[in-house]
């Protein structure tokens, strides 16, 4: 019997649930590299960088790699299928980890940053897991599918920081073991996608709808607001998380403490995903996004209140929760605002803009942390104060969207 295509009506979600299970496993196992990289990337960069203001440049390069490859990878998947795209991303991530390891071995900041750029390609493909979860799902199951895949990050939040603890000092060269472990995760984790069953989109018929151009899509109010809210949620989370290990160690705590705080943060990022989809279905996506932005604001207030371990833990947990509501909500808002034939264009455009914002945020994080004041406290304060104008931007865009029907 022939396989159904993505253009056929979805009778049930059996295949979608199988695909979600594969993507949850990928998020859990392959995704463990992301908390590993974000825990030690800034610390490794600080040990190699010729200027402390560039300490977080390697993390910025990871995000830049994601941004530069978002649209090409989206187009590659449209032509060759999700499976090949995800395998390619994992293998390029492994190549990046090997280059970063070489950079640490020879003490070259430039080589380390080049490896980080390649590792960003994996990060970019991981961003498509949440979209792939919706490819074979019914409209009713899509928000839950996104949430379940994101919930796979719970396991990665546990695995990643524990691998950091085991490998950070495994060699004479600090953090070399971490990036060797990232390489192994990518090589073996790529085999998971053999079980993925997402058909390629058939070539469009001559009379098929062409979809709107990217400029036309950006003029759609709901698409524009979804991108703004997703960008702000992700960029602010990255801004603060990137500086957290530098702040924790700078305040006299250990790398192990920093790894535990990042672990708690990543758990908070993904634990709510078990019910975020249900909350969206019950209260509406706009309210969930608004709640996420408000929680991000509270995270900044807690961080400004002090620099004891408890402040770091509470602030980073709130940061993760706010990201979850804001980013998953924005993703659900986006997937419901375009036609099927516009999927590739919208998703590639969205991730290019989101990761562009995250790149700027991660680079600014090191500058604010190390070069905006005379000590760690001044830098940490600057990082958290920088959240305010962007929260106002995203919150204002939501209010504008809510007011449009009344104005009409």
Question: What would the pLDDT profile of 180-210 be if each residue is shown by its tens digit?
Answer: 999 999 999 999 999 998 887 666 666 666 6
Lowest mean pLDDT among 155-169, 201-215, 220-234, 297-311: 201-215
Percentage above 90 pLDDT, the chain: 44
Neighbours of 185 (CB within 10 A): 25
Q: What is the pLDDT of residue 382?
A: 93
Q: What is the pLDDT of residue 87?
A: 95
User: What is the mean predicted confidence (pLDDT) over 137-157?
Assistant: 82
| DSSP string for 255-292 | HHHHHHHHHHHHHHHHTTHHHHHHHHHHH-HHHHHHHH
Instruction: State how far the Cα of 354 lies from the Cα of 288, in Å rounded to an integer.
Output: 19
Instruction: State how far the Cα of 190 lies from the Cα of 151, in Å rounded to an integer.
Output: 19
How is residue 78 written in tokens? 């449209």
Compute the CA torsion angle 133, 137, 139, 142 (nearest 10 deg).
-30
Q: What is the pLDDT of residue 173?
A: 92
Distance, C-alpha 24 to centroid of its chain: 15
Main-chain phi, psi angles of 146, to 5 degrees? -60, -45
Q: What is the pLDDT of residue 384?
A: 95
* pLDDT above 50: residue 156: yes
Could you tell me the pLDDT band of residue 107, with boundaries at 50, 70 and 90? very high
Q: What is the pTM of this model?
A: 0.75
* pLDDT above 60: residue 6: no
Instruction: State how far the Cα of 164 lies from the Cα of 40, in Å rounded to an integer.
Output: 8
Residues in the chain: 408
Q: What is the pLDDT of residue 314?
A: 96
Main-chain phi, psi angles of 400, to 5 degrees? -60, -40
Instruction: State how far the Cα of 245 lies from the Cα of 238, in Å rounded to an integer.
Output: 12
In a domain? residue 1: no
Instruction: State how far the Cα of 260 lies from the Cα of 245, in Å rounded to an integer.
Output: 10
In a domain? residue 63: yes
Instruction: Say how many domains are in the chain.
Output: 1
Task: Kindly provide the b/e burial profile for residues 256-279, where b requires at least 16 CB atoms within 10 angstroms of the residue's own CB.
Answer: ebbbbbbbbbbbbbbbbbeebbeb
Instruction: State how far the Cα of 2 lies from the Cα of 38, in Å rounded to an integer.
Output: 44
* pLDDT above 90: residue 345: no
CATH of the domain at 250: 1.20.1250.20
Q: What is the pLDDT of residue 405?
A: 65
Q: Which pLDDT tens digit goes with each residue over 386-403? A: 999 999 999 999 999 888
At residue 23, the 3 state secondary structure works out as helix
Q: Which pLDDT tens digit goes with each residue over 19-70? A: 999 999 999 999 999 889 988 888 898 889 888 888 888 988 998 888 888 7
In a domain? residue 222: yes
Q: What is the pLDDT of residue 340?
A: 67
How is residue 315 written in tokens? 């602030």
In a domain? residue 175: yes
DSSP 208: S
Could you tell me the pLDDT band of residue 296, with boundaries at 50, 70 and 90? very high
In a domain? residue 4: no
In a domain? residue 8: no
Instruction: State how far the Cα of 160 lies from the Cα of 263, in Å rounded to an integer.
Output: 8
Note down the domain range covering 107. 16-201+211-407
In a domain? residue 9: no
* pLDDT above 80: residue 337: no
Instruction: State how far the Cα of 137 lies from the Cα of 265, in Å rounded to an integer.
Output: 29
In a domain? residue 2: no
* pLDDT above 60: residue 408: no
CB 334, CB 227: distance < 8 Å: yes
Tokens 């996506």 found at: 285
Q: What is the pLDDT of residue 269?
A: 86
Q: What are the start-end ranges of the H helices in 81-175?
A: 82-106, 109-126, 129-135, 142-151, 153-167
Q: What is the pLDDT of residue 9?
A: 42
Q: What is the pLDDT of residue 135?
A: 83
| DSSP string for 391-408 | HHHHHHHHHHHHHHHHH-
Q: What is the pLDDT of residue 407?
A: 43
User: What is the mean predicted confidence (pLDDT) over 117-126?
Assistant: 90
Q: What is the pLDDT of residue 341?
A: 65
């Amino acid at each position: 019997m022939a396989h159904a295509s993505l253009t056929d009506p979805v009778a049930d979600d059996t295949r979608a649930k199988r695909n979600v299970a594969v993507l949850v496993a990928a998020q859990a196992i392959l995704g463990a590299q992301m908390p590993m990289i974000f825990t030690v990337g800034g610390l490794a960069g600080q040990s190699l960088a010729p200027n402390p203001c560039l300490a977080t440049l390697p993390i910025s390069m990871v995000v830049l790699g994601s941004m530069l490859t978002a649209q090409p990878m989206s187009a590659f998947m449209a032509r060759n299928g999700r499976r090949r795209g995800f395998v390619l991303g994992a293998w390029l991530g492994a190549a990046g980890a090997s280059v970063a390891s070489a950079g640490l071995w020879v003490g070259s900041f430039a080589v380390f940053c080049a490896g980080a750029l390649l590792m960003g390609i994996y990060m970019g493909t991981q961003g498509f897991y949440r979209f792939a979860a919706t490819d074979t799902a019914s409209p009713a199951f899509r928000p839950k599918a996104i949430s379940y895949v994101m919930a796979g990050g719970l396991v990665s939040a546990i695995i990643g920081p524990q691998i950091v603890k085991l490998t950070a000092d495994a060699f004479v060269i600090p953090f070399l073991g971490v990036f060797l472990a990232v390489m192994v995760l990518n090589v073996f984790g790529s085999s998971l996608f053999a079980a993925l069953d997402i058909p390629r989109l058939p070539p469009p018929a001559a009379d098929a709808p062409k979809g709107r151009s990217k400029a036309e899509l950006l003029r759609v109010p709901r698409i524009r607001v979804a991108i703004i809210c997703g960008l702000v949620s992700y960029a602010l989370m990255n801004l603060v998380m990137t500086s957290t290990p530098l702040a924790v160690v700078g305040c006299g705590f250990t790398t192990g403490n920093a790894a535990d705080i990042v672990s708690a943060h990543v758990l908070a990022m993904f634990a709510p995903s078990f019910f975020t989809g249900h909350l969206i279905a019950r209260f509406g996506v706009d309210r969930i996004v608004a709640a996420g932005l408000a929680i991000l604001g509270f995270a900044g207030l807690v961080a400004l209140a002090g620099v004891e371990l408890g402040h770091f833990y509470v602030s980073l947990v709130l940061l993760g929760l706010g990201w979850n509501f804001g980013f998953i909500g924005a993703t659900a808002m986006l997937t419901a605002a375009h036609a099927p034939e516009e999927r590739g264009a919208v998703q590639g455009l969205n991730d290019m803009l989101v990761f562009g914002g995250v790149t700027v945020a991660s680079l600014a994080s090191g500058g604010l942390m190390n070069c905006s004041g005379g000590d760690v406290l001044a830098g940490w304060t600057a990082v958290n104060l920088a959240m305010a104008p962007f929260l106002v931007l995203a919150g204002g865009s939501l209010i504008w969207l809510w007011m449009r029907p009344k104005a009409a």
